Chains A and B, each alone.
Chain A
């Protein structure tokens, strides 16, 4: 992950080519995602769009988990807050100012995370933090189910996709593919921010805190503050993803704050690759694929999903991404060895 300098020194050739192969794959995947509106029907496009949003949301969760070492089981609550803020703003007719609305939803997610973090992080981590965040998200769900103004159990339906207004020109996002590309751009920006945070000095600080909290404080890192900032960043990403989700799904319900939404990033990360930046993205799309191809197998779909998850976690403890990297390293090492042998024989 962050053995940047080490990777630069050891087996330079090998490490570089693995990175190159993965970069090429990421670029290819991004291209395919961008071309989706031309490749698939609107039903499948909707699924891909949702997966994209969930992938970004899970990366935000994973920055908190794999970098800061904090497991939140209530991130669905923050996603839900972002989605409701966006839905309410659009219902109130602020659709043409959708970018500020997204910013507002992001702030709402960050603010709630800040309040929870201020109370919880000072004394809690591990299982206590998990239970607390889970309970708070459930509490939010039950409150939303009872507030008539927010649609009670039915939530807020018929959210229109916005037309962005920039004074001189408008961008019409009301069609499916237009909003889909908007999702792509927004996801790219959010993933870029997460990448930058995770791999820069802030990420190095968080890793230090996760690896050894006491050592970290004895090199002068304010452990509590670093964790709190990570918690707030993760909350902001969740809120932002929620805001992007609302007009895409065109309905928000209290279920967004439920267990399923909160455990999704955890499952995606486990399947895709623990302690890997792209792991949750890989996991999200792998889950989508499994869901899609087993959609007609009603009744045993969950069994298949659960079985695959179990096999992947048991066989590759670092998920699909970790397994892939290990495979690639093995293949590259063999190729390197073959070359070295060939050179020796030539002599």
Chain B
């Protein structure tokens, strides 16, 4: 079943066209990676998917509804979670408060009232859920810290916990392991697999869309890969197909480049 579908996406910044008629379907339950050299339009395409920028032409359909012109908060409420290349969390407030704010936002959008209208503190169920989410990403012992005191990797974990607080059906991850140590990178990869295994609730499977530079991460995680170059889709397929695609080798990586080889 297709959960996110792009039809004829065009995007220009002024006179410069950065996306040329992109077509792609993301299937529920897969890890869908977008790769391409710098300036290929990955980030722009990603932003069109999340609602940070709108396509000039074409349609974005998410979970059966046309979201082409919907702003991010509505897509989030419809089940889209997003993490940033450099983790973005609410720095000056507590780690747990970050997650609590996200849970409260979801409950508000869903009309769930588990605290009286005059309550100042978050409800007990909200606090407990926050601790569970933090536990799930391995941050339970740091719940009391202020977010700005967390390490780079921990901030990423916190961001993932905040995103999961929205009970997403699809996780949009912009370079989830950028700038991380290899140990952190492996842990984030393992975390993504755990999130996939846990599913998206209601018996539905979780889907991940990610952009990535690091080929070892891509080949270790992705189900299918969309390869872009100069704003066009040049290939879309399973990992093996992409690895053996001569056009991908030529256009994207150069003939001598060895990065498409299986990582050691």
| Chain A interface residues (CB < 8 Å from chain B) | 1-10, 196, 199-201, 204-205, 207-208, 211-212, 214-215, 217-223
Contacts and interface: CB of A to CB of B under 8 A. Distances in A.
Contacts of A223: 73
A3 B97 contact: yes
Interface in B105-164: 105-106, 108-109, 118-122, 127, 143-146, 162-163
8 contacts: A4-B97, A5-B96, A10-B145, A196-B118, A205-B104, A218-B81, A219-B76, A220-B73
A259 to B, nearest CB: 31
A3 B101 contact: no
A1 B94 CA distance: 10
A207 B90 contact: yes
A173 B57 CA distance: 66
A204 B82 contact: no
Contact of B101 (A10, A196, A208): A208
Given A204-B104, A214-B88, A220-B109, A6 B97 contact: yes
B77 A2 contact: no
Given A6-B144, A6-B146, A196-B118, A215 B88 contact: yes
A163 B188 CA distance: 68
Q: Which 3 A-B pairs have the closest CB atoms?
A: A9-B144, A6-B94, A3-B94
A4 B100 CA distance: 11
Interface of B: 50, 52, 71-73, 76-77, 81-82, 84, 88-97, 100-102, 104-106, 108-109, 118-122, 127, 143-146, 162-163, 165-166
Contact of B73 (A10, A200, A211, A221): A221
Contacts of B84: 214-215
Q: Please indicate which of the listed interface residues B91, B106, B121, B166 has the most CB atoms of chain A within 10 Å of its own CB.
A: B121
Nearest to B52: A214
B96 A6 contact: yes
B93 A2 contact: yes
A4 B95 CA distance: 11
A24 B105 CA distance: 34
Nearest to A212: B88
Contacts of B127: 5
A234 B113 CA distance: 26
B70 to A, nearest CB: 11
Nearest to B97: A5
Contacts of B97: 2-6, 204
Given A208-B101, A214-B88, A10 B72 contact: no
B93 to A, nearest CB: 5
B93 A10 contact: no
Given A205-B104, A218-B81, A221-B73, 16 more contacts: A1-B92, A3-B92, A5-B100, A5-B127, A6-B97, A6-B146, A196-B120, A201-B108, A207-B93, A212-B90, A214-B72, A215-B84, A215-B90, A217-B73, A219-B105, A222-B73
Contact of A217 (B76, B95, B145): B76
A318 to B, nearest CB: 12
Nearest to A211: B90
B4 to A, nearest CB: 16
Contacts of B50: 218
